[in-house]
Amino acid sequence: MPTEPRITTLPTQDSLVKQAVYDDADGVGSDHSAPMGFVREQDASSSERTNTPMGVAAQQSSLSIHDERMLRWVLSAYTVTATFWLLFATAVGVLIAYKFGAPDFAPGEWLTFGRLRPIHTNATFYGWASLALVGLAYYVAARSSRTRLYSPRLAWIGLVLFNGAAVAGTIALALGHNNGNLEYREWPGPIRLIFLGALLITAWNLIGTVARRSTHDIYLSNWYTVGAVLWTCIIAVVATLPWYQYGLGQVSVSGFYMHNAVGMWFTPLALGIFYYALPKLLNRPIYSYALGVFAFWTNLVFYPIIGAHHFLFSPLPWWLQTTAIVFSVAMLVPVWGGSANFLLTMRGRMRDMTHSYPLMFIFVGVIGYLVGSTQGTFEAFRSLQEVWHMTNFTVGHSHLTMYGFVTFAIWGGLYVLLPLGTGKEPGPLGLALHFWMAVVGSFIYVISLSVGGTLQGLDWKHGLPFIQSVADMQSYWVWRGVGGSLMFLSHVVFGWNVWRMTYGVGAKAAPNDSNPAAGAGA
């Protein structure tokens, strides 16, 4: 049972970048031969050791106090607003989960399933996950490039635009203004343009920050995060232009947008956080920089073409569907390559998890990525789509990936980096409650829908009356509600932890990047 977060035993920012570059030169990983002056992993296993002045002194930041304050402000503000959206969106999620068992509960038109469902999905995507990941990406870009943020003002404008779009989009959906059957693009056009504006500003600011780096190489995390913003600008533009969005053109653009929103936006952003937070936490370089670059390029080659797997057996050309299936299988290359890189970085250090909730969050995130994406590959086969398409199995997959992977990655990243930025830690009880309720809740959620969804699909395949599949799903929907309630409670605790790590009073001062002496016992 973890007792204390290990975030007080981190290596230096300086060493992280150097280790990454060293790992690159080494090509096969460098864990056993860290060069002179770096905190070795043997040392890292002892908290006394790394809390010595030698350990923390090198955390001296190259940024001015003003730049430090700005960076801290950006990460905190993005995190706090993202947390608000997580709480709001998942309160809605719990409500709609229970509506499956009690459809007449809360019957007002504002509270109908058709309005609340897109409110939930858009608020989790664009309020929660996007804001949290962008805040983290800014922090990682500045720290790993050892430079200041290109423009705190642009970060501020982006924050207002992201939040403004989420507020306006939520109100529009609640009033019944829905862009139609275009999943994850339900906000009316002008509101999506506001989001696009925020995206362009973020891309400019992130690239500007990385471009003025004082390191020679671009650290791996920034490949992923900068790639994510660039690709998503293209995807969002393609999904916004109206000319080809009718008939089958609209269907294929829907598949393209839907899957790239998860594959070219959330996935690389979350992977970028892993690549930064894991070496920091474990005090050793990533297993292989080269493997990380390989996974980056294969992700880019294979992901954009798999969207049509959402529309198998539809009137889309058969060859397009088959291409999507073939590339869904090819996705195993970056997924297994990336996951192996993270797991090999952790090898021999699994016991450290008993001391580190941040590490446990990241570990769950990596497993969520590996299992959820591999499941996705199987889901893309025609033989299995025959059973699972349109069933609750897919909803289980969505939450295994967007929650078990992306959301856990965000939490792991925040629990590592926020205390480093602000010098404030959450308490051990808050960490424990958050972790266990989220893990147990999401486990119940995903398992119940995976089993129930399979039965549902088999009912349909066997030609049973539709209402039979509804009756068969009932207990699984109740279990989903139970799991969802636990998940929601964990978010309340997370909200409290975020408050303590930002504007409230932290459990104790952590050694931070601007104030290395804090928490070092100095």
In contact, 449 and 480? CB cutoff 8 Å: yes
- Of these, 18, 192, 284, 309, which contacts ligand HEM (CB under 6 A)? 309
Least distance from ligand HEM to the Cβ atom of residue 364, Å: 14
| Residue of 253, 103, 100 whose CA lies nearest to 179 | 253
Least distance from ligand HEM to the Cβ atom of residue 359, Å: 21
> 27 φ, ψ to 5°?
80, -30
Binding segment for ligand HEM among 36-44, 87-95, 144-152, 153-161 (CB under 6 A)? 87-95
Q: Which is nearer to ligand HEM, 124 or 202 (CB)?
A: 124
Least distance from ligand HEM to the Cβ atom of residue 368, Å: 9
Q: Is 170 in the site for ligand HEM (CB under 6 A)?
A: no
Query: Which parts of 212-246 fold into alpha helices (H)?
Result: 220-240
What gap in Å lies between CA 278 and CA 295, rounded to an integer?
A: 17
Q: Which is nearer to ligand HEM, 81 or 267 (CB)?
A: 267
Binding segment for ligand HEM among 13-21, 59-67, 208-216, 260-268 (CB under 6 A)? 260-268
User: Rounded to the nearest 10 degrees, what angle do helices 466-501 and 392-401 cross at?
Assistant: 20
Q: Is 224 in the site for ligand HEM (CB under 6 A)?
A: no
Q: Is 373 in the site for ligand HEM (CB under 6 A)?
A: yes
The residue with its CB nearest to ligand HEM is 376
Provide the β-strand partners of residue 509. Answer: 424
Q: Is 325 in the site for ligand HEM (CB under 6 A)?
A: no
Q: Is 96 in the site for ligand HEM (CB under 6 A)?
A: yes
Tell me which residues in 387-426 interact with ligand HEM (CB under 6 A).
388-389, 392, 394-395, 397-399, 401-403, 405-407
Q: Is 267 in the site for ligand HEM (CB under 6 A)?
A: yes
Show Cβ contacts of residue 63 under 8 Å, excluding neighbours closer than 6 positions.
Answer: 71, 142, 147, 148, 514
Least distance from ligand HEM to the Cβ atom of residue 129, Å: 5
Q: Is 129 in the site for ligand HEM (CB under 6 A)?
A: yes
Q: Which is nearer to ligand HEM, 86 or 206 (CB)?
A: 86
Least distance from ligand HEM to the Cβ atom of residue 135, Å: 15
Indicate the burial class of 465 (C-beta count within 10 angstroms; 0-12, 13-18, 19 or more): exposed
Q: Which is nearer to ligand HEM, 236 or 331 (CB)?
A: 331
- Of these, 40, 49, 117, 177, which contacts ligand HEM (CB under 6 A)? 117
Least distance from ligand HEM to the Cβ atom of residue 105, Å: 13
> 297 φ, ψ to 5°?
-70, -40
Question: Residue with structure tokens 């309720």?
Answer: 437
Distance from chain centroid for Cα 93: 18
In contact, 361 and 406? CB cutoff 8 Å: no
Six-digit token pair at 317? 């050309």
What gap in Å lies between CA 258 and CA 250, rounded to an integer?
A: 12
Q: Is 120 in the site for ligand HEM (CB under 6 A)?
A: yes
What gap in Å lies between CA 231 and CA 203, rounded to an integer?
A: 10
Binding segment for ligand HEM among 88-96, 165-173, 280-288, 467-475 (CB under 6 A)? 88-96
In contact, 517 and 511? CB cutoff 8 Å: yes
Binding segment for ligand HEM among 27-35, 314-322, 328-336, 413-421 (CB under 6 A)? 328-336
| Residue of 179, 159, 160 whose CA lies nearest to 169 | 179
Least distance from ligand HEM to the Cβ atom of residue 80, Å: 17
What gap in Å lies between CA 416 and CA 289, rounded to an integer?
A: 21
- Of these, 75, 161, 331, 409, which contacts ligand HEM (CB under 6 A)? 331
In contact, 511 and 59? CB cutoff 8 Å: yes
Q: What's the CA dihedral at 457, 458, 459, 463 to 10 degrees?
A: 100
| Residue of 495, 363, 475, 411 whose CA lies nearest to 101 | 475
Q: Is 335 in the site for ligand HEM (CB under 6 A)?
A: yes
> 455 φ, ψ to 5°?
-60, -40
Q: Is 256 in the site for ligand HEM (CB under 6 A)?
A: no
Distance (Å) of CA 100 to CA 103, 162, 254, 467: 6, 31, 26, 13
Least distance from ligand HEM to the Cβ atom of residue 477, Å: 9
Q: Which is nearer to ligand HEM, 4 or 183 (CB)?
A: 183
What gap in Å lies between CA 82 and CA 13, rounded to an integer?
A: 26
Query: Which parts of 283-403 fold into alpha helices (H)?
Result: 289-302, 318-330, 332-346, 357-379, 382-388, 392-401
Q: Is 84 in the site for ligand HEM (CB under 6 A)?
A: no
Q: Which is nearer to ligand HEM, 95 or 191 (CB)?
A: 95
Size of the site for ligand HEM (CB under 6 A): 46
The DSSP H or E segment spanning 5 is: none
| Residue of 219, 247, 255, 396 whose CA lies nearest to 328 | 255
Q: Is 183 in the site for ligand HEM (CB under 6 A)?
A: yes
Tell me which residues in 474-503 interact with ligand HEM (CB under 6 A).
484, 487-488
Q: Is 71 in the site for ligand HEM (CB under 6 A)?
A: no
Q: Is 444 in the site for ligand HEM (CB under 6 A)?
A: no
Binding segment for ligand HEM among 25-33, 43-51, 69-77, 92-100 (CB under 6 A)? 92-100
> Would you tell me how many other CB atoms lie within 10 Å of the CB of residue 496?
17
Note the residues at the interface with ligand HEM (CB under 6 A): 90, 93-94, 96-97, 117, 120-121, 124, 128-129, 183, 258, 262, 266-267, 306, 309-310, 328, 331, 335, 372-373, 376-377, 379-380, 385, 388-389, 392, 394-395, 397-399, 401-403, 405-407, 484, 487-488
